């Protein structure tokens, strides 16, 4: 929403001097209380200011933003992760492309025995290899995938906010959700995936007001 | 956060009877006010309940979610849209794939003179066509694209929430941001794009508390 110059000035005054009464704000602006009434009503209804009887107006915007931020950071990866779609290193690029269409996902995770993460294969990797003249049945997916340890991952207990930040920072479409493997804690076992779709769904849920922490 | 049985019971009581004093809550539970003090402190600090002097406790959770939803719905497409990457119908599939890598986007918009939207070409469309035996230089992008009017779009004045909802509902990666063309208002002119990346970035901004309406 667009604020008028006078409304912005009122916010400045309340930020600096709040809690402050309407009369005092009017005095600061050399206006009457009656002139300010519509502005104060708008600013209060839209949540920039809050009013308490016998106390006056105080600035609510910043606190509200921080509350929202805090709330978003409480959302956990484990509560939003989707089922991972995995293949083995021996699969061909052709099989990977078919699987991607079949499962309708943008990224495949390539695993070894015990669901140990070994690589990530994106639509871009597959598109690049399909442009060449090779026989796609003859090329193993392990040749075109991004390989460990060059893979950005996340953990079930991490916040969804952290996962989304990594997706943006590293410019990837998805993050494998992993945990240390039971047999060898240096290896990572794939237990889920977080994608831009996951984050978009979470955003929609927040906008519907149906997300509950 | 995990609530104890007693804390959940307190929330139920406050939901039903709030505003209610701590003494009355204690009475309902056959406990002393002193026993309940830590629970009430936890519920207040975590935002489930609010307390007002001489009034008592009332339930804050629902109101907070609705405030949050309202705030998200104030975010507009025009304030978040990215620059669209466009090609003409005459471009080949090969050129489209190259352009997609060059511009690092997931979707290309295909336009006629005056930036009039004629089709949308996704990574999936290109991947599908690159699997065949055809010469990719000989196939025009207009053969593999999704064509108007089967394209989901959004307008600059729409909310980002509506755009995100369409992305999920129609299972697409991006929405062209359009406006009626000046010369012929039945045609749509492309002025931007909203993608899952856009929404993920907005989510990160909200979590950082730096989004300001």
What's the pLDDT tens digit per position in A9-53?
A: 999 999 888 889 999 999 999 999 888 988 887 787 666 788 887
A155/B contact by beta carbon, under 8 A:
no
Q: Which of B127, B136, B197 shows the shortest C-beta gap to A196?
A: B197
| Residues of A whose CB is below 8 A from B196 | 195-197, 199-200
Query: Cβ A123–B128 below 8 Å, yes or no?
Result: no
Ranking A16-20, A189-193, B65-69, B101-105 by mean pLDDT, the lowest is B65-69
| Mean pLDDT within B74-80 | 95
A172/B contact by beta carbon, under 8 A:
no
Ranking A29-43, A52-66, A144-158, B158-172 by mean pLDDT, the lowest is A52-66
- Distance in Å, alpha carbon of A183 to nearest chain B alpha carbon: 30
A161/B contact by beta carbon, under 8 A:
yes
- Distance in Å, alpha carbon of B181 to nearest chain A alpha carbon: 26
Query: Cβ A130–B128 below 8 Å, yes or no?
Result: no
| Residues of B whose CB is below 8 A from A210 | 65
What's the pLDDT tens digit per position in A91-137?
A: 999 999 999 999 999 999 999 999 999 999 999 999 988 887 788 89
| Residues of B whose CB is below 8 A from A211 | 65
What's the pLDDT tens digit per position in B105-134?
A: 999 999 999 999 999 999 999 998 888 778
Tokens 């699997």 appear where? B131
What is the domain class of A5-61 according to CATH?
A: mainly alpha
DSSP structure string for chain A: -PPPHHHHHHHHHHHHH-SB-HHHHHHHTT--HHHHHHHHHHHHHTTSEEEETTTEEEE-HHHHHHHHHHHHTT-BGGGTPBPP-EEETTSBHHHHHHHHHHHT-SEEEEEETTTEEEEEEEHHHHHHHHTSSS-TTTSBHHHHSEETTS---B-TTSBHHHHHHHHHHTT-SEEEEEEE-SS-TTSEEEEEEEEHHHHHHHHHHHHHT----
| Mean pLDDT within B74-98 | 95
Residue A66 token pair: 């921080």
Q: What is the predicted pLDDT for the residue at A93?
A: 94
**Percent of residues, chain A, with pLDDT higher than 90:** 62
Residue A211 has pLDDT above 60, yes or no: no
Using CA atoms, how far residue A205 sits from A178, B66, B110, in Å, is 25, 11, 32
Contacts of A74 (CB under 8 A, 6+ apart): A159, A213, B1
- Residue pair A10/A25 in contact (Cβ under 8 Å)? The answer is yes
CATH 3.10.580.10 intervals, chain B: 77-207
B121/A contact by beta carbon, under 8 A:
no
* Contact map slice: A 12-41 vs B, CB within 8 A: none
pLDDT band for B1, please (50, 70, 90 cuts): low
A97/B contact by beta carbon, under 8 A:
yes
Question: Which residue in A has a C-alpha nearest to residue B73's C-alpha?
Answer: A207
| Mean pLDDT within A164-174 | 96
Question: Which residue in B has a C-alpha nearest to residue A95's C-alpha?
Answer: B131
CATH 1.10.10.10 intervals, chain A: 5-61
Q: What is the predicted pLDDT for the residue at A135?
A: 86
Residue A2 has pLDDT above 80, yes or no: no
| Residues of A whose CB is below 8 A from B94 | 131
**ipTM over cut 0.90:** no
| Residues of A whose CB is below 8 A from B136 | 131
**Percent of residues, chain B, with pLDDT higher than 70:** 94
Residue B160 has pLDDT above 80, yes or no: yes
Q: What is the predicted pLDDT for the residue at A213?
A: 42
What's the pLDDT tens digit per position in A86-97?
A: 999 999 999 999
A78/B contact by beta carbon, under 8 A:
no
Residue B63 has pLDDT above 50, yes or no: yes
Q: What is the predicted pLDDT for the residue at B62?
A: 59
Regarding the domain delimited by A77-207, which CATH topology (the fold level of the hierarchy) does it fall under? Answer: CBS-domain (3.10.580)
| Residues of B whose CB is below 8 A from A204 | 161, 164-165, 168
Residue A206 has pLDDT above 50, yes or no: yes
- Distance in Å, alpha carbon of A33 to nearest chain B alpha carbon: 26
Query: Where is B197: in which H helix or E strand?
Result: helix B196-208
Query: Cβ B130–A128 below 8 Å, yes or no?
Result: no
Query: Cβ B202–A204 below 8 Å, yes or no?
Result: no
| Mean pLDDT within A46-62 | 77
Using CA atoms, how far residue A33 sits from A12, A38, A41, in Å, is 17, 10, 12
Residue B45 has pLDDT above 50, yes or no: yes
Higher pLDDT, A167 or B68: A167
Residue B212 has pLDDT above 60, yes or no: no
């Amino acid at each position: 929403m667009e604020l008028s110059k006078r409304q912005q000035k009122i916010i400045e005054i309340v930020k600096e001097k709040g809690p402050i009464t309407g009369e005092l704000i009017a005095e600061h602006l050399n206006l009457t209380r009656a002139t300010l009434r519509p502005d104060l009503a708008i600013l209060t209804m839209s949540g920039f200011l809050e009013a308490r009887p016998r106390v006056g107006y105080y600035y609510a915007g910043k606190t509200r933003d921080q509350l929202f931020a805090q709330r978003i950071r409480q959302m956990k990866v484990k509560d939003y992760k989707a089922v991972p779609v995995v293949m083995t290193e021996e699969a061909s690029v052709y099989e990977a492309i078919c699987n991607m269409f079949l499962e309708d996902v943008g990224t495949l995770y390539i695993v070894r025995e015990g669901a140990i993460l070994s690589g990530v294969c994106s639509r871009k990797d597959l598109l690049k290899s399909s442009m060449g003249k090779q026989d796609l049945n003859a090329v193993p997916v392990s040749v075109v995938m991004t390989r460990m340890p060059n893979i950005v991952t996340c953990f079930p207990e991490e916040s969804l906010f952290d996962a989304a930040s990594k997706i943006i920072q590293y410019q990837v479409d998805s993050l494998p959700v992993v945990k240390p493997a039971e047999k060898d804690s240096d290896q990572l076992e794939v237990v889920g995936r977080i994608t831009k779709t996951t984050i978009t769904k979470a955003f929609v849920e927040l906008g519907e007001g149906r997300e509950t922490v």
